[in-house]
Amino acid sequence: MELFAPVVSVTLTARRRFFWAAWWTSPPVRAPFLKPDASNGGARTLEEALGEASAVAGRSLVRIDPSWARAWSRVLRGQPPWQGERAASSARRPPPGPELEPSTSPAPLRSVLGLAPGATVEQVKRAYRAKALETHPDRGGDPEAFRRVQKAYEQALAKLARRGGPKKRREPKG
């Protein structure tokens, strides 16, 4: 027997409103993407969105990762729910559990940026650009996740500089 808690995913839209998607009859599934039991957008605050979702569901809901609401939003726009390489690799993973309170310890650089050990400056920059596009609030991403990506990028560059890692040379002007 599989245990399932009714869940809600909330994301911030480009217009700075909160869009929610809720599953209470069965858990969300990545492949094939399972349509939520209900969804709506336009809430002015996170609390308003969570309250509206709970009222529609008729029960309390556990908050999960915002990527689920973003995926449903993409489906509503006629796009695939998951973008790029992330869709293929994440289809094998089970849905994430409930969100925990933000950790006070910084996440390891490699996991935030998806870097391999011994990454070069160019690889760090490429990984940062990709994650920044994915998490930027103006593109429907989570502001806190974007800040973590920025911090990890700065730390990775500082770490490479301390190690004396590969640096780009500047050509003298003139």
User: Residue 142: which CATH number?
Assistant: 1.10.287.110
Count of other CB atoms within 10 angstroms of residue 70: 24
Claim to verify: residue 83 and residue 116 sit in the same structural domain = no
Contact 135, 142 (CB under 8 A): yes
Residue 174 or residue 22, greater confidence = 22
In a domain, 174, yes or no: no
63: left (phi over 0), alpha (psi -120 to 50) or beta: beta
> 118 and 44 in one domain?
no
114 and 86 assigned to the same domain: no
Q: Quick check: 49 and 18 in contact, CB under 8 A?
A: yes
pLDDT at 52: 93
49 within some domain: yes
Residue among 137, 113, 134, 141 at smallest CA distance from 125? 113
| Residue 99 covered by a domain | no
Confirm whether pTM is higher than 0.85: no
- Look at residue 148 and tell me if it is in a domain: yes
Same domain, yes or no: 29 and 80:
yes
The verdict on residue 75 lying in a domain is yes
pLDDT at residue 131, rounded to an integer = 87
Using the predicted structure, report yes or no on whether residue 118 has a pLDDT greater than 90. no
The whole-number pLDDT of residue 144 equals: 87
Distances (CA, A) of 96 to 4, 90, 92: 12, 10, 12
The answer to whether residues 120 and 151 belong to one domain is: yes
In a domain, 12, yes or no: yes
Q: How many domains does the chain have?
A: 2
Lowest mean pLDDT among 49-58, 92-101, 128-137, 144-153: 92-101
Q: Which residues contact 53 (CB under 8 A, 6 or more apart)?
A: 8, 10, 20, 22, 38, 40, 61
Give the strand order in the sheet containing 7-12: 38-43, 18-23, 7-12, 62-64
Range of the domain at 138: 109-163
Last-in-domain residue among 60, 90, 120 = 90
